[in-house]
Amino acid sequence: MSFPKQNKPRLALAALIAASVVLGMALSWTALGRQFDNYAYDFLFRALQPDPWDATSIILAIDEPTLAKYGGNAGLRGALAAGLERIAPAKPAAVAIDVVLAENGLRDADARLETAFAATPNLVLPAYILRDGTWENPIPRFAAHAAAIGQVHASLDKFDSVSREAPLMKAGGRIRRWSLALEAFHVRVGGTILESPEELVVGSVHIPSTLKDAFVDGRMLRIRYPPVKMGGIPQISVAELDANPALAAKFSGKTVFVGVTAQASGDNRITPYSNTEPVPGIEINASEYETIARRMFLVDARWLAAAAVSLVLASLVGLAFALTSGTRPDWIANAAAVAVLAASQAVPAVAFTRSTVWPWLPGTLSVVFAIASSAFWRQMVVRRALNQADAEKTRYQRAMQFVTHEMRTPLTAIQGSSELISRYGAMPEAKRKQMAEMINAESKRLARMIETFLSVERLSAGQMDMKQERFPLADVVEACVARARAYAERKSIEIEVEPIPSCELQGDRELMEYAIYNLLTNAVKYSPERTRVTVLSEDGRGDRVHVASLVRLTIQDQGIGMDKKEVRRVFEKFYRTKSAEQSGELGTGIGLSIVEQIVTQHGGTIQVESEPGKGSRFTLVLKRA
């Protein structure tokens, strides 16, 4: 029975790699995992900033000096009206307002603001959803002048409150509203907003944004904040305009976002850039607008793609370890592992430059786990190889002890006899002849022992020349049985031979005889007295697939048998089972390893079935000539 011993550790490694990827993916789905991925995103966001561009939007800011001048929050509408009046002559393309307009204010201020709204084309006013799920809209006198109403909800990360994306749509009750920025873009380019499950289309711009839940926050958009070098979206405050009315020219043809930037207003958010300094909400609206207008969309990679790439990377690690284990120095696998780890870091960065948000954690974790488990695997394999070598060494030493012990007996006999012959010249002829015959027989036995020992080594080294001749199987079996019968008699064991099909084998007859004789003597050796050994043969018809070109030869005994674990090891050099050792029968544990070599060299296989205490069946499956 030949076991593919090489494959078992490799399979274990493959399983470890697969487990690494599964664990990597699973951990990256946890809340903590997502957090890590967010930090990686922020890192790439800062590291790979786009080149500055000319913004098509501008912020009309109600800042601290403006509030101071117009009387704080009470004067907000006055400031707003003043700002709109100042920029109107410059003809902005659209104006989006993020100031609460949901209730009536002072009569004069509201009247002035309404007039200013009426004079503003492409006006977008804000709305937001209250806690009870209803919309808080601008009062009708203002709403009447709006080209569109846009929602001004933010989307802050659940865990760290960083504003990475914006909801393009919000639903309250059964009413859905697009975001203020999207509406500002929409009223500017005209037409309608077309929806599909995967994207929104405004004019010629396709915004990739999946519809997740039509009645919550259906569609998210990752905001591309302007690079730090750009210094944010341009801003001019109402107070500045009052002081320098010529600044109004800067609003010409722009989409204007009007909102409170005074820090005390509390409308500030953290962005991936501003870890310490919050950005006013109105600037985030304008950034969302720039993302759409410049089509700088960041799309999330598909989960399956991330899983596939993680698997490829982890497999590369496993492959490096599998290919170098045992034969090459460890540093090659280690270097390969570092290279794969670097590659796993490069993937998200390269993807980011191609506007794809690639999750960092799954690949990184998969590779790290793969490296750890591969290193562990290597340790185990090396240790096992060492253990095996150790075991083989002790078995070899024991066999050597046995052989030297065995050799001593014939040597003593030869020595004694030859001494007697030389000392007593006047020895009777008959006695002299008997001694000479004994010397001859014992030296032949010695030669055979040495021959057997050497043939194992030569066979396994492939140095043994194998003859190529045709010979009948039945002849070989007959010769072996005849020799083995003499050996079996001492234990009163009967060897029964069933009819052998008349077929020829091709190869080395002497070696084949050695193999079959060995199986026969083992069967006798490891059986109690007065049992039976049976030799039977059949052609390939016994196989599940009919193979007429094969012939099977089975040697069956009623002996001590072996358990499954022992069966697996009997072809190892110098291996003997415990029960064989205890049986008192002498042996080296190399016979079967030679038998296996011979059979495989003849293109055949050997199978063992055995049960402790019941007996064993050794079957040779041989090729017909």
**Residues forming the site for ligand ADP (CB under 6 A):** 518, 522-523, 525-526, 557, 559-562, 570, 576-577, 580, 587-593, 616
- Whether the CB-CB separation of 556 and 494 falls below 8 Å is answered with no
- Whether the CB-CB separation of 309 and 363 falls below 8 Å is answered with yes
Concatenate the DSSP letters of all residues of 108-132 into one string: HHHHHHHHHHHT-SSEEEEEEE-TT
b/e 212-233 (16+ beta carbons within 10 angstroms → b):
eeeeebbbbbbbbbbbeebebb
Q: CB atoms < 10 A from the CB of 362, how many? A: 28
Euclidean distance between CA atoms 211 and 312, whole angstroms: 31
Give the residue with the Cβ less far from ligand ADP, 374 or 522: 522
Could you give the count of Cα atoms lying within 13 Å of 317 in the half-sphere of its Cβ? 36
Euclidean distance between CA atoms 588 and 406, whole angstroms: 11
Give the residue with the Cβ less far from ligand ADP, 155 or 577: 577
Q: How far is the CB of 3 from ligand ADP (least distance, A)?
A: 15
Q: CB atoms < 10 A from the CB of 466, how many? A: 14
Give the residue with the Cβ less far from ligand ADP, 101 or 567: 567
610 backbone dihedrals φ, ψ, rounded to 5°: -155, 155
Q: How far is the CB of 8 from ligand ADP (least distance, A)?
A: 22
3-state secondary structure of 9: helix
Q: How far is the CB of 538 from ligand ADP (least distance, A)?
A: 20
Give the residue with the Cβ less far from ligand ADP, 306 or 560: 560
Which residue type does 613 have?
A: G
Euclidean distance between CA atoms 438 and 440, whole angstroms: 5
Q: How far is the CB of 560 from ligand ADP (least distance, A)?
A: 5
- Whether the CB-CB separation of 376 and 52 falls below 8 Å is answered with no
Give the residue with the Cβ less far from ligand ADP, 318 or 589: 589
Tokens at residue 579, please? 């029960």
Give the residue with the Cβ less far from ligand ADP, 169 or 599: 599
Closest CA to 523 of 537, 513, 533: 533
Euclidean distance between CA atoms 376 and 558, whole angstroms: 45
Give the residue with the Cβ less far from ligand ADP, 274 or 607: 607
Give the residue with the Cβ less far from ligand ADP, 85 or 557: 557
- Whether the CB-CB separation of 129 and 153 falls below 8 Å is answered with yes
Give the residue with the Cβ less far from ligand ADP, 163 or 616: 616
Between the alpha carbon of residue 12 and those of residues 258, 314, 381, the distances in Å are 63, 14, 10
Angle between helix axes 591-601 and 429-460 (nearest 10 degrees) is 60
Give the residue with the Cβ less far from ligand ADP, 291 or 518: 518
Q: How far is the CB of 591 from ligand ADP (least distance, A)?
A: 3
Residue nearest ligand ADP, CB atom distance = 587
- Number of H helices and E strands in the chain, helices first, is 18, 25
**SS3 letters across 234-275:** CEEEHHHHHHCHHHHHHHCCCEEEEEECCHHHCCEEECCCCC
Give the residue with the Cβ less far from ligand ADP, 46 or 532: 532
Q: How far is the CB of 474 from ligand ADP (least distance, A)?
A: 22
b/e 19-40 (16+ beta carbons within 10 angstroms → b):
ebbbebbebbeeeebbebbbeb
Q: How far is the CB of 520 from ligand ADP (least distance, A)?
A: 9
Give the residue with the Cβ less far from ligand ADP, 43 or 396: 396
- Whether the CB-CB separation of 45 and 274 falls below 8 Å is answered with no
Q: How far is the CB of 40 from ligand ADP (least distance, A)?
A: 59
